Amino acid sequence: QVQLAESGGGLVQPGGSLRLSCVASGSSFSAYHMGWYRQAPGKQRELVAAITTHTTPAVDGTNYADSVKGRFTISRDNGKNTAYLQMDSLKPEDTAVYYCAADRSLLALVSTGPSSWGQGTQVTVSS
């Protein structure tokens, strides 16, 4: 399994931006599909964005929840063993703990449950 560590959370005003980072260690990062989940108080954990192992200009390899499409961008740098979540035009309803996740199976990542999780980073959107 791969070990994951998130960073970049914090307090931001509505309309602001944050970039979350997820550094992976312990295994071959490029073999893992990566995702970002979030969990707000009293709500179930939900998948925000996912990215496949490799992307090209012809094959984007990303997918987003409807609630964040056009505002969030997931990316990865296999050379740095790092996945990112750029969050723009943040709204109060984006407030949650954000978790990085990884799995060699895309189905497991997005549906049945990833094998690796980070510890989570708090994002609070408030004026």
Q: Is 4 exposed, middle or buried (0-12, 13-18, 19+ CB in 10 A)?
A: buried
Q: How far apart are CA 74 and CA 86, in angstroms?
A: 6
Instruction: Express each pLDDT in 7-62 by its tens digit.
Output: 999 999 999 999 999 999 987 999 999 999 999 999 999 999 999 987 766 667 89
* Helix, coil or strand: residue 107: helix
- The mean pLDDT value of the chain amounts to 94
Of the chain, the percentage scoring pLDDT greater than 90 comes to: 84
